[in-house]
Structure 1
Amino acid sequence: MLAPVSSEPDVIPGGARSVCAALCLWVSALALGHACGRERTSGLTLAGSTSVQPFAERWAEAYGARHAGATIHVQGGGSTAGIQAVESGTAQIGMSSRDLLPDEAQRLRGLVVARDGIAVVVNPENRIGDVKLDEVRRIYAGEITRWAGHGGQGRKITVITREEGSGTRGAFEELVMKGRRITSAALVQDSTGAVRQMVASDPASIGYISLDLVDTSVKPLRVDGVEPTEAAIDAGRYRLVRPFLFVVKGAPTGEARAFIDWIRGPEGQALTRKEGLLPPAP
């Protein structure tokens, strides 16, 4: 506890003043050493894309099981938030499910750790099974507003999208919208899980999510006659594919480098495939 400050000025003899200065420097150095110690033992922090997050958690768990003492913290927030966290120094690795923007790429490095397909999904009650890419674009632009003629029993389409700054949304805008704006009537959700839940609860809805997060609660659509499968992605027939990036400032070092090398190595890539993602393109 700090002593109370006296309202009267202290008078310190010269010799005592030297001892006091030395003591203050020693205390400051000790405090700094404790702070640095906490920094060193706090582990590796990853932040960013909620699409990458569940895979990063699995990679971190498997890596930690093989590297005693490794501590890796994984948190979401969206791709843009993760990129900003790396720039500010609050995270050593940012997770992004979109390519870096030109200005970001001048300051940071994006390392591809996996590839992921984006699935366009509807409610299982919807009889539609196949859409053209241009139809998806027109639905999200607000030009097609009903399922009439599209196997959806004439219902008004509930368009569901991710928030601005989401890597999934950024990839969808690049791959599907091609410069068109997503309609302001779209319902905005802040995570992939929330999009899936809304589609699962609304028979007239449409959304887009990471291919690996598709489950029986939603139905993935064929796009231009092609099913969103790993084989179709590898063959180059399914075009809605995005990179999963680890974003770093400069060359990764220490635990960050070891973790990234492990993910991109044989053991990490085997886990990547097991979890439904694809390794980086050869």
Structure 2
Amino acid sequence: MTVKTKWLGVVVALLLVIVAAAGCAGKGQTKTGEGEQPGSLSGSIKIAGSTSVQPLSEELADAFMNKNPNVSVMVAGGGSSAGIKAAQDGAAHIGASSRELKPEEKTGLTETVIAKDGIAIIVNPKNGVSELTLDQIKKIFAGEITNWKDVGGKDAPINVFTREEGSGTRGAFEEIVMGKDKKITGKAGVQNATGAVRTAVERDENAIGYISLGSLNEKVKAVTVDGVKPSEETVLNGTYKISRPFIYLTKGAPTGVVKAYIDFVLSPEGQKIVGEKYVPVRK
């Protein structure tokens, strides 16, 4: 073999190694998500933050991973403040918050509202009370107002029903209505499901409780709060006060597989999942 032929063989071998390496590197990269067919995305996403948003994120992540088996979406809690910090620090690709951000928390973050959470205050249809103020609701659930006559109803005791500790609906109610200075009365009847609260109120003319807006039916009556009727419209426009946004936060505009996931969440398919328990922000 001549020297010239030997060097030609070395060059060809090197070219083959380079091409093979490039192919392997391409397989390990995260796809951009733009123009990709379903199932062709790959990469990983970490979501952290609000424990109220967490169950919804888990459902959305499962649906997204079913469509894209090469993508891993990890969902963790920690609270809204932790989610905001995780997005700011880059510890998570997406931070989740169930409250509006303070001005000083917004720096460098892109906010995407993925859902709204509305909670209806319900009474028995035979109850003459149809409207309450937010302050009256707080005092009723704190055990400070105990008779319906004190809020415009008949002379009868108020029977309070609440969800169990750890319930996301209870957590939202405590955060929005009770605040940090009041606790739900220990005399309240505790129910372990939305349907159980609704049934308890349906069967007791003197009962009051709270359930997710999407679980309302004709067997109970939702009262107006500060003159506003609970509905998807009033939750979306912010006039119904017992509501809050579910927000995804990214450091800058989302890109790549993270953008693909958020686009899925806002798509008709993703918003259908949202609408099973919450108020969708897009139709």
The verdict on a shared fold, with TM-score over 0.5 as the criterion, is yes
1:259 matched residue in structure 2? 261
1:110 matched residue in structure 2? 111
User: 2:132 touches 2:223 (CA, 8 Å); kept in 1?
Assistant: no
Task: Tell me by how many angstroms 1:72 deviates.
Answer: 0.8
- Describe the shift of the 1:54–1:215 C-alpha distance in structure 2 as closer, same or farther (beyond 3 A): farther
Q: Does 1:56 align with 2:69?
A: no
Which whole-Å deviations, capped at 9, do the CAs of 1:104-151 have from their partners, x for residues lacking one? 1124332111223232357x7995763312522544677535455556
User: 2:224 touches 2:230 (CA, 8 Å); kept in 1?
Assistant: yes
User: 1:212 touches 1:276 (CA, 8 Å); kept in 2?
Assistant: yes
- Describe the shift of the 1:136–1:110 C-alpha distance in structure 2 as closer, same or farther (beyond 3 A): same
Question: Matches of 1:84 and 1:208 in 2, distance apart?
Answer: 31
Question: Matches of 2:141 and 2:246 in 1, distance apart?
Answer: 24
1:135 matched residue in structure 2? 136
Q: Does 1:97 align with 2:98?
A: yes
Q: Does 1:277 align with 2:246?
A: no
- Describe the shift of the 1:104–1:195 C-alpha distance in structure 2 as closer, same or farther (beyond 3 A): farther
User: 1:119 touches 1:208 (CA, 8 Å); kept in 2?
Assistant: yes
**Aligned-residue CA RMSD in angstroms?**
4.6
2:78 matched residue in structure 1? 77
The alignment's TM-score, normalised by the length of structure 2, stands at: 0.58
Amino acid aligned to 2:94: I
2:176 matched residue in structure 1? 172
Amino acid aligned to 1:244: F
- Describe the shift of the 1:82–1:196 C-alpha distance in structure 2 as closer, same or farther (beyond 3 A): farther
- Describe the shift of the 1:74–1:126 C-alpha distance in structure 2 as closer, same or farther (beyond 3 A): farther
Task: Tell me by how many angstroms 1:258 deviates.
Answer: 1.4
Question: Matches of 1:136 and 1:244 in 2, distance apart?
Answer: 23
For the residue of structure 2 that corresponds to 1:43, the secondary structure is: strand
Task: Tell me by how many angstroms 1:186 deviates.
Answer: 5.5
Which whole-Å deviations, capped at 9, do the CAs of 1:62-81 have from their partners, x for residues lacking one? 21121231111123333223
Task: Tell me by how many angstroms 1:197 deviates.
Answer: 10
1:223 matched residue in structure 2? 225
Query: Gaps (5+ residues) in structure 2?
Result: 1-27, 29-41
Amino acid aligned to 1:132: L
The alignment's TM-score, normalised by the length of structure 1, stands at: 0.58
For the residue of structure 2 that corresponds to 1:252, the secondary structure is: coil
- Describe the shift of the 1:139–1:127 C-alpha distance in structure 2 as closer, same or farther (beyond 3 A): same
User: 1:147 touches 1:156 (CA, 8 Å); kept in 2?
Assistant: no
Q: Does 1:268 align with 2:267?
A: no
Question: Matches of 1:266 and 1:259 in 2, distance apart?
Answer: 13
Q: Does 1:154 align with 2:157?
A: yes
For the residue of structure 2 that corresponds to 1:106, the secondary structure is: coil
- Describe the shift of the 1:89–1:170 C-alpha distance in structure 2 as closer, same or farther (beyond 3 A): farther
Question: Matches of 2:235 and 2:68 in 1, distance apart?
Answer: 33
User: 2:141 touches 2:160 (CA, 8 Å); kept in 1?
Assistant: no
Which whole-Å deviations, capped at 9, do the CAs of 1:208-239 have from their partners, x for residues lacking one? 564347799x9854436765333664688745
Identity of aligned residues (%): 36
Amino acid aligned to 2:157: G
Question: Matches of 1:77 and 1:213 in 2, distance apart?
Answer: 27
1:245 matched residue in structure 2? 247
- Describe the shift of the 1:62–1:129 C-alpha distance in structure 2 as closer, same or farther (beyond 3 A): farther
2:24 matched residue in structure 1? none
- Describe the shift of the 1:273–1:157 C-alpha distance in structure 2 as closer, same or farther (beyond 3 A): closer
